[in-house]
Amino acid sequence: MYAKLTKAIIPVAGLGTRFLPATKAIPKEMLTVVDKPLIQYIIHEAAEAGITDIIFVTHSSKGAIENHFDSHYELEAKLIEGGKLDRLATMKAITPPNVNFVSVRQPEALGLGHAILCAAHIIAPNEPFAVLLPDVLMHHPRKGCLAQMAEYYETVHTSVIALEQVPMDQVNKYGIAGVSEVDLRVHQLVEKPKPEEAPSNLSVVGRYIFTPRLMELLKTTKAGVGGEIQLTDAMATLLNEEVMFGFEFKDGKSYDCGDKLGFLRANIEYALRDPNLGAAFNDYLASLELKPLKKKKE
């Protein structure tokens, strides 16, 4: 029997070149959706799933992430002195109660699989662990994606990965899963396949719960697509040894915030859902009388 699921690995070492110039001096995980950095949404999603130990796999240029979840005595003292208790409460709410952080460095950008492997010494041999990719925001009106997956994990006690349909011409951007229609048992995984080689249009979204065996397999996983050590390749090997289930995130919506368009969509939709800003922002958008824009000539 595995230990309780309490640890999550969050790879944040990537330099965010897709988002330059914004990410030259600011970690991409610190870009804000409405009024919170992306990473804050991710940490709260993990905490909702019962995660108490967050492991950042990070880089020397990403100190702002750890600072965001640390206390800031000077700022707190100023807010108390000025009687700005609502702002103090906002600051205190950044880090969920009972969540601890540790950081490990990824010394070289050798791929997502390699990033996860950098945390291997923190995961005990009998411990399952979650992985959350911080580029992907998962909105659900009632219960976060990882919390739903953790509940499902409690019934199956084997690896569970979030899956989502994407258009067939987009499959080359993602890990793609072949699954059984009955129970979403995964039987094939391919990283960024050509459409003609894809087993389906079900993409791996960026939320995973793994048995500890995955970490062992990563140790011997060779570089794959793009010359990088791919998480998907280790997962594909795991399929030869253990059962893995796909998890369909129903009634929710994902936003790929590593992509400029996805990031803009997230900002607009999260602002519209915001209890304080939503109504006014909706009125503002309506007032724009947006006309359909002409497409640029190719």
Q: How far is the CB of 39 from ligand G1P (least distance, A)?
A: 15
Instruction: Say if residues 190 and 232 touch (Cβ distance below 8 Å).
Output: yes
Query: Does 175 participate in binding ligand G1P (rule CB under 6 A)?
Result: yes
Per DSSP (E only), the strands in 194-270 are 202-210, 244-248, 253-256
Query: What sections of 211-259 are H helices per DSSP?
Result: 213-218, 231-238
Cα–Cα distance for residue pair 58/44, rounded to 1 Å = 19
Query: Does 204 participate in binding ligand G1P (rule CB under 6 A)?
Result: yes
- Alpha carbons within 13 A on the beta-carbon side of 52: 5
Instruction: Say if residues 253 and 139 touch (Cβ distance below 8 Å).
Output: yes
The residue among 47 and 231 lying less far from ligand G1P, judged by its C-beta, is 231
User: To which H or E segment does residue 163 belong?
Assistant: strand 159-165
Q: Which of these ranges, 101-109, 121-129, 132-140, 280-288, lies near ligand G1P under the rule CB under 6 A?
A: 132-140
Q: Which of these ranges, 58-66, 72-80, 202-210, 243-251, lies near ligand G1P under the rule CB under 6 A?
A: 202-210
Residue of closest CB approach to ligand G1P = 175
The residue among 226 and 275 lying less far from ligand G1P, judged by its C-beta, is 226
- At 41 the three-state DSSP class reads helix
For residue 26, give both structure tokens.
Answer: 């600011």
Q: Which of these ranges, 118-126, 130-138, 237-245, 262-270, lies near ligand G1P under the rule CB under 6 A?
A: 130-138
Instruction: Say if residues 177 and 166 touch (Cβ distance below 8 Å).
Output: no
Strand partners, 7: 53
The only residue of 10, 34, 116, 133 in contact with ligand G1P, by rule CB under 6 A: 133
Using only C-alpha atoms, what is the Rg of the chain? Answer: 20
Q: How far is the CB of 85 from ligand G1P (least distance, A)?
A: 39
Q: How far is the CB of 226 from ligand G1P (least distance, A)?
A: 8
The only residue of 203, 210, 229, 247 in contact with ligand G1P, by rule CB under 6 A: 203
The only residue of 232, 234, 236, 246 in contact with ligand G1P, by rule CB under 6 A: 232
Helical axes 278-287 vs 260-273, angle rounded to 10°: 120
Query: Does 255 participate in binding ligand G1P (rule CB under 6 A)?
Result: no
Query: Does 9 participate in binding ligand G1P (rule CB under 6 A)?
Result: no
The residue among 127 and 191 lying less far from ligand G1P, judged by its C-beta, is 191
The binding site for ligand G1P (CB under 6 A) comprises 112, 133, 135-136, 174-175, 191, 203-206, 231-232
